[in-house]
Structure 1
Amino acid sequence: MATRDSDMSGGTGTGTLQRPAMSRILQANPVVAVLRAGHAREYAPVIEALAGGGVRSIELTLSTAGVFELLPELTSGFGDRIEIGVGTITTESEAREALAAGARFLVTPVTDVGIVQAAVEHGTPVFPGGLTPTELLAGWRAGATAVKVFPASTVGPGYISQLRGPFPELQVIPSGGVAIEEAPDWIRAGALAVSLGGPLIGDAFKGGDLGELTRRAERVSALVADAVSARSGG
């Protein structure tokens, strides 16, 4: 599914842009879990524990070995109840390999227009990373579903309201140092979703209690849901 924006450049021209839409899974619970492990074969039980707590948008980072090889198996095993994307993508060739392997969304730590366009052509949601207004606007104009403010902990939630002044249409997802208790602050500030790694995953890949991981997932899901409801006046 895609939404149509007027003018790919963000101006007032006559071109159109098919911007891939946010998934229904992420709409239902706007939390992305960022997973890093020694090897992708460690992912399945952690994904299951996160899903048990309501977090069903899972980013597998390319800093982990075996992601491309095991992605089809993981996607097939979890089916439609989970969406698995690939993150830490820094080249267009990695983007196309991730798409071919079945990634449901792409995430980058940088603003690379070629990566964004590869995802847009495929109709797949893409969240390019950036920090400065120039970087974020470039990713948005290229067709990003939302731009990833990274590292978010260096600027804080107030940065979104500052960006919305000159760029009212910009959709933002903070990532990098977002704590569980801070997640609702970002939502109230206008974030489309929040992305959490270490604060959510904790010691899950080091023999930690997966029941505790599920409880952390439940906690952040509840906090974000309350913030979304408050923001919408519900």
Structure 2
Amino acid sequence: MDLLASLRTHRLLGIVRGSDPDAALNTVLTLAEEGVTLIEVSLTGRDALDVIARARAALGPDAALGAGTVLTAADALAAQKAGANFLVTPGISDGIATGREAGLPVLAGVLTPTDVVQALGLGADALKLFPAGSAGGPGYLRDLRGPFPDVPFVPVGGVDAPAVATYLRAGATAVGVGSPLIGDAASGGSLTALRDRARTFLGTVAAEPRP
């Protein structure tokens, strides 16, 4: 898949991390039904590889379904085997190079300018600014875009619905959203509430003009 093109087109990445594999799967499928086209399943969730495999079977071969919290080369290869077609790392890890060698696009986690240079050198397709909220929010993103004006950044961490517009206006290519979007759905919570949140986030993204 063309991860960068998908990030630029859809501008919202849903991040699923749950303690209940069946609930996590239902969360992925519900997000897809509501139009959240880019979905990441964190490997720190219970039975995450199985969730990815079951979601892939349900969504078909072309859905943008990724594995998150990829730390090692083994994580990258296991995620690919389960059916992930892109990888997300929380920082500079062996998963970046291994994922690229395996033909998978990678959204690599960065925080500092040094991280940015290293991740680009390893072949990352886009950069996950994490934890964005703790790092200084949209203002910090603007600062990073000074020396890196053409780098595609995806802020993750503390991105609630009101912050989405602010990050996009600050130059984010897309935003990654976990608990503010997912809530407790991936651990057995309400899917109806999840649908409402998904519509809120999608509406906020759609309301922002494209650069």
Equivalent position to 2:70, from 89, 104, 112: 89
In the TM superposition, residue 202 of structure 1 has moved relative to its aligned partner by 1.2
Aligned residue-pair number: 210
Residue 129 of structure 2 aligns with which residue? 149
Higher relative contact order (CA 8 A, sep 6+): 2
Distance in 2 between the 1:91 and 1:81 partners? 25
- Unpaired runs of 5+ residues, structure 1, are 2-19
In the TM superposition, residue 23 of structure 1 has moved relative to its aligned partner by 4.9
| CA RMSD, 1 decimal | 1.9
CA contact 1:116–1:142 (8 Å) conserved in 2: yes
CA contact 1:62–1:89 (8 Å) conserved in 2: yes
Distance in 2 between the 1:89 and 1:36 partners? 13
CA contact 1:33–1:59 (8 Å) conserved in 2: yes
* 1:164 correspondence with 2:145: yes
The share of aligned pairs that are identical, in percent, is 37
* 1:214 correspondence with 2:195: yes
Residue 168 of structure 2 aligns with which residue? 187
- Structure showing greater radius of gyration is 1
In the TM superposition, residue 80 of structure 1 has moved relative to its aligned partner by 4.9
* 1:60 correspondence with 2:26: no
CA contact 1:86–1:103 (8 Å) conserved in 2: yes
Residue 47 of structure 1 aligns with which residue? 28
* 1:138 correspondence with 2:138: no
CA contact 2:97–2:122 (8 Å) conserved in 1: yes
In the TM superposition, residue 150 of structure 1 has moved relative to its aligned partner by 0.6
Corresponding residue SS for 2:83? coil
- Unpaired runs of 5+ residues, structure 2, are none
Corresponding residue SS for 2:189? coil
In the TM superposition, residue 21 of structure 1 has moved relative to its aligned partner by 4.4
Corresponding residue SS for 2:4? coil
Residue 4 of structure 1 aligns with which residue? none
Corresponding residue SS for 1:32? strand
In the TM superposition, residue 51 of structure 1 has moved relative to its aligned partner by 2.0
TM-score, normalised on structure 1? Answer: 0.82
Residue 174 of structure 1 aligns with which residue? 155
Distance in 1 between the 2:197 and 2:53 partners? 27
Q: Which amino acid aligns with 1:163?
A: L
Q: Deviations over 1:199-234 (max 9, x none)?
A: 11112135433122112111111111222xx243xx
TM-score, normalised on structure 2? Answer: 0.90
Distance 1:182 1:70, change over 3 A: closer
Distance in 1 between the 2:183 and 2:53 partners? 26
